[in-house]
Structure 1
């Protein structure tokens, strides 16, 4: 029995994690729940799962919360509790960095869904996991697929990793109409059920840029070894090419509950009770190179990774602010990459120490917020 704490339990990944636990009561026990500010949903989840280990980043002002772990510091204390074996990190954004480090320092297994953790603090996170002999497993479908495919060889035998992307809702939309894209249109992902922020990131393909950086750290790859292909069917999640020319791919129906279950139970496998892949029904699998004019955020992510230091943290923070502004209808869809690029150009990168990463993240948020 694995005892699981879910950070971000009221979000899309968090709720799907609880669905996985409901289907596997002999294997998984939910022992703690935390979220950003949705206290009402958190209370309902706590009642269902009969847990008292609860946390909120921002507690309600008019309700008693003495029984809660509060703020980032509270979440850091939660993840280190003795009754926790596995910490699911599904809090959106770089705010999840410190709780992730705290869990790894306590030797917990971390099932990581939050891309921004490794984007902002990859070197620090991987060093912490190694130093404390802690296990870090990916929940992202692409990284889960890559992890599984890489088991076919040794790490030093990997020549290339290909991450796939659906292309989002605007893969074939005329470029001249991008200035008129609405929030509602951007949130209509063709294949996946996800939260609002990551759905917009999928439309700009910033999510794939974040995943490229994340893959570097998770698998110890050079930037030039990680490539992206558009695969509209979202059936092939990752492909690993080995030095002999063999390519191993991981395929499944596009359902986040499968990589969540894999991470929670690794290395065991049980019946997921999910729909099975029927290739004869899919019919055709297609792949294409991303159009740089359509997906400018992908190029910005590669640029940030090449520059290194604190630049990925700044790029990520600027994207979070810009996406929030778009969702609040303060800026246009096409303004997202423009503001991210402007923030990157205004930043002088520093070595990626924890102090510098946190300072760069705060600087980028303040710099861009002041200009929107």
Structure 2
């Protein structure tokens, strides 16, 4: 394992650093929505379109990877992330800020589709564990960013500006990571779309997008102060990080779809706990389930859909469908859902998905 790490050190460094910044950038939208609402004179629901704009950009980036994945390097992705985050920080108008969020999302989507398959393939049998390590580092940035946002006076100019700067710094050191190929060696299993797992991925990533992007707003609706909501989002990501860190040591031992099924069950318990008992405590607990969604989905889909270069972008695009449309559906409903209505909706969706996942378990694990 040490030899593999030395061999792929450049890939691992660039991937870890990029995922830290990706976590920071995505987690900033949630606590920043009230600030964007005030700065641009839009409602909080309208400000929530920024979250979907980010995910639309991700979908476009993944589309580029599907068409031209072999030609895309980490530096392409990082350059777009730097430009997009800088554009959001500029606050040059509501329309231009939405465009900048799309550009940031394009780089974000490319980064996901560049690094995940490279790491999964480079580390062989330990690929699922290293994939969990890579995605766990997302949590480091996601924990820090809301706290930094509050410390900087809840001003999106400073927080998104710092995100842009870090992307530029990683770009400087990411050149040799582009030497890692996306193409597998030897015989390639054909491309076989699997609509069942893609549907699970769309729902799981949609839930993640709503929790990260709209969760702080839901907490505020339940009576939590804005600064406290940002702190709770950081605590959510602490639990998120712990669950993904545990996978570094266990992912190769647990069937990936069983992991996704268990995560849905935990999310159901936590969502109803937030609705019935304590939004603060159980919102944080939801981080444990959310941290398991993507690794369980990605590894299952990779096993089901083959090794063709089109497979990783397709897997990620499946998740992005949920990431785009779930916030668009939920954000306009927030005002009419009541104090904890967001969590009732979440619990209803996750309980239904848990039942379906249990029934599908034998077929998904074969």
TM-score normalised according to structure 1 size: 0.28
Q: Bigger relative contact order, structure 1 or 2, given CA contacts below 8 A and separation 6+?
A: 2
TM-score normalised according to structure 2 size: 0.28
| Greater per-residue helix proportion | 2
